[in-house]
Amino acid sequence: MKVAIYCRLSEEDRNKVNKEDDSNSIKNQKAMLIQYALSQDWDIYDIYSDDDYAGSDRNRPQFKRLLADAESRKFNIILCKTQSRFTRELELVEKYIHGLFPIWGIRFVSIVDNADTANKGNKKSRQINGLVNEWYLEDMSENIRSVLTNRRENGFHIGAFAPYGYEKDPSLKGHLIVDKEAADIVKEIFSLFADGYGKSSIAKILNNRGVPNPTEYKRKKGIRYSQPKKTASTLWKYHTIAAILHNEVYIGNLVQGKYGSISYKTRQCAPKPKEQWIRVEGTHEPIIDKALWNRVQKKISTHARPLTPTGMVHPFSGIVVCRYCGYAVRPHKTHGHYYLMCNTKQISEDACPGAFIPAEELEQIVISELRKLNTRLLDLGKLERQIEFEKTLNTRKNKIQSEQKGYQEKIDEYTTALQTLYVDKSKGLISIRDYHEMAEAFQNEKKRFERLVKACQEQIAEMNASIQTGDHRTELLSKYIHMDHLTRSMTEILIDHIEIGKRNKETGEVPVSIFWNF
């Protein structure tokens, strides 16, 4: 009789000296099984050993080789220490031990738990062993998930690799510390984007300077990294820049649990709904300050596109709106000059008379108004400036609070609608299919208004903080009053939005209303 010996050591019970070495436990398993085989006068065909693999892993290399050789009838017996060393899945117990092995003429023996397919009387005990092992897998998976969730909720970083710009703290597991060299590149990316450069243009700037991308940087520094499967490129790309600009890790927050395993039986993961993500603020030192972060996120939300071939976003993109229809006015380039024009007129002249102004003209108006504002503030006393400042912010705050109230009313309406819809479904007034379609639509709208409420709350909190810190407008404006041209960064810091109208034929002036950020 030819016997195949199979050994497996899982990650939780390994005791290795070096990564390449068999652990002592594997050696003990081999010694036990060899001694048993010799005592039964069996010839040992081969020893199959999977070190550092879970019992639920179907892709164990030696396990797969064992099954292939079993199907080829290269031996008569498979010998293991326990049935769980072969597999912890009841499905594989039934498929191989009770299904295919008898067909292939293979006897399965595990010596510790007395599983032996030659003994017809212990099939039920093998099935019970399989069921117990299956429960073990499920419980272990649930326990691991619970521990990881708890650590995420307590602000610990869970992951094999630290995000670019950070490294793992050797003195505290799960804590991130700043990697200064990479952090400087992160700061540059945020600053360039805030100044009007597009994501592709930023990637080009870094590539032209020979700055290694995150993967290549970690490889050169000897830091653990994940190599993309499709390419080993060392270049910065659009999606890499985009991922950095969206990642809250750079303002000191951890957002984790975005993906979760489909089942404890597979390593395959699926994205989780955003409301199930675990977000903890202030877990580590930020690289980007909150003001720059907010400017970047606002710019991203406006979808202001870079104007080719410069790769920079125009200072007025997403900031200027038509005073008649309220739609955003986008820059258009003709004969080397930029113009701001409302496109609604092109669709219907009845809907909008059309707003139009050369970008250079608007730029000079803004600079002129900026200087006038600074002069007026300097003429006011400190107390007067503070009173005016608080009055302006309180006016804006009241407006936002009114909007928040309207959004909350919409949330309440959709909550009531969902409850009514459920009652209608229970009474059979609508079909289950219609219920699910309508409920999904209502839930999506409810979530949209909840996001708007949250945005209002954040704006109100910022205004309250500004009121507490006091009026610093003169210090802010002093940085810009001597500028002859506007930059994207300036318009985002100083201006909330600008309304423009149609040029007056008699005076030749274009009505312009500037709404400052202060």
- 122 shares its domain with 194: no
Q: Is the pLDDT of residue 54 over 60?
A: yes
Rg for the chain, CA atoms, rounded? 33
Residues 22-33 have pLDDT tens digits of: 455 778 888 889
pLDDT at 197 over 90: no
Say yes or no: 119 and 234 in one domain. Answer: no
- Mean pLDDT across the stretch 364-378? 83
What CATH number should be reported for the domain holding residue 215?
Answer: 3.90.1750
The answer to whether residue 383 scores a pLDDT higher than 70 is no
Same domain for 209 and 262, yes or no, is yes
Q: How many residues does the chain have?
A: 518
Cα 156 to Cα 142, 173, 375: the distances in Å are 19, 8, 50
Q: Answer yes or no: is pLDDT of 253 > 90.
A: yes
| CATH code: domain of residue 21 | 3.40.50.1390
**315 located within any domain:** no
Listed residues 239, 267, 302: the one ending a domain:
302
Q: Is the peptide bond before 331 cis (omega within 30 degrees of 0)?
A: no
Strand 495-500 to 356-358 pairing: unpaired
Residue found under tokens 């950020």: 517
Whole-Å CA distances, 290 to 248, 293, 474 = 10, 5, 21
Which range (116-120, 198-202, 326-330, 500-504) has the least confidence?
Answer: 326-330
pLDDT for res 194: 86
Residue position matching structure tokens 């034929």: 505
What pLDDT is stored for residue 183 in this prediction? 95
Residue 421 clears pLDDT 60, i.e. is over it: yes
Rounded average pLDDT over 177-195: 93
- Per-residue pLDDT reduced to its tens digit, 471-500: 666 666 777 777 788 887 788 778 888 999
- Cα(172)–Cα(387) distance, integer angstroms: 48
For residues 497 and 349, the answer to whether their CB atoms sit within 8 Å is: no
Same domain, 260 and 361: no
In a domain? residue 426 = yes
Render the burial of 183-208: b for 16+ CB within 10 Å, e for the rest: bebbbebbebbbbbbbbbbbbbbbee
In three-state secondary structure terms, 5 is strand
Question: Which of 115, 150, 185 represents a domain boundary (last residue)?
Answer: 150
Integer Cα distance of 276 and 368 in angstroms: 49
pLDDT bucket at 128, cuts 50 / 70 / 90: low
Give the residue, 391 or 143, on which the prediction is more confident: 391
Residue 438 within any structural domain of the chain = yes
Same-domain check for residues 364 and 497: yes
Which has the closest alpha carbon to 406: 447, 448, 443, 449? 449
Q: Which residues neighbour 241 within 8 Å (Cβ) at sequence distance 6 or greater?
A: 189, 193, 199, 200, 202, 203
pLDDT at 312 exceeding the cut of 70: no
Q: pLDDT tens, 261-307?
A: 655 455 566 787 888 888 899 999 999 999 899 888 887 876 665 55
User: Do 407 and 458 lie in a common domain?
Assistant: yes
Same domain, 182 and 224: yes
The answer to whether residue 7 sits within a structural domain is yes
Q: Are residues 345 and 447 in the same domain?
A: yes
Would you say residue 474 lies in a domain? yes
Residue 174 has pLDDT above 70, yes or no: yes
Q: Answer yes or no: is 362 within a domain.
A: yes
Residue 431 has pLDDT above 90, yes or no: no
Q: State the total domains in the chain.
A: 3
Are 180 and 133 contained in the same domain? no
Does 79 have pLDDT greater than 90?
Answer: yes
More confident residue, 346 or 458: 458
Domain extent, residue 248, equals 166-302
> What local confidence, expressed as pLDDT, does residue 140 receive?
60
- Between 237 and 12, the more confident residue is 237
My answer on whether 57 and 90 are in the same domain is yes
Whose structure tokens read 């108006």?
A: 365
Strands 337-341, 356-358: pairing kind? antiparallel
pLDDT tier, 427 (very low <50, low <70, confident <90, very high otherwise): confident
Nearest Cα residue to 325 out of 301, 341, 338, 314: 341
Residue 156 inside a domain? The answer is no
Percent of residues, the chain, with pLDDT higher than 70: 81
Identify the burial level of 357 via C-beta atoms within 10 angstroms of its C-beta, where 0-12 means exposed, 13-18 middle and 19 or more buried.
buried
Cβ atoms of 365 and 491 closer than 8 Å: no
Mean pLDDT of all residues belonging to the chain: 81
State whether 460 and 358 are in the same domain.
yes
- Our measurement of the distance from residue 231's CA atom to the centroid of its chain's CA atoms, rounded to an integer in Å, reads 21
Share of residues in the chain with pLDDT > 90 (%): 25
Which pLDDT value is given to residue 65? 94
Confidence of residue 308 (pLDDT cuts 50, 70, 90): very low
| Same domain, residue pair 511 and 396 | yes
In a domain, 290, yes or no: yes
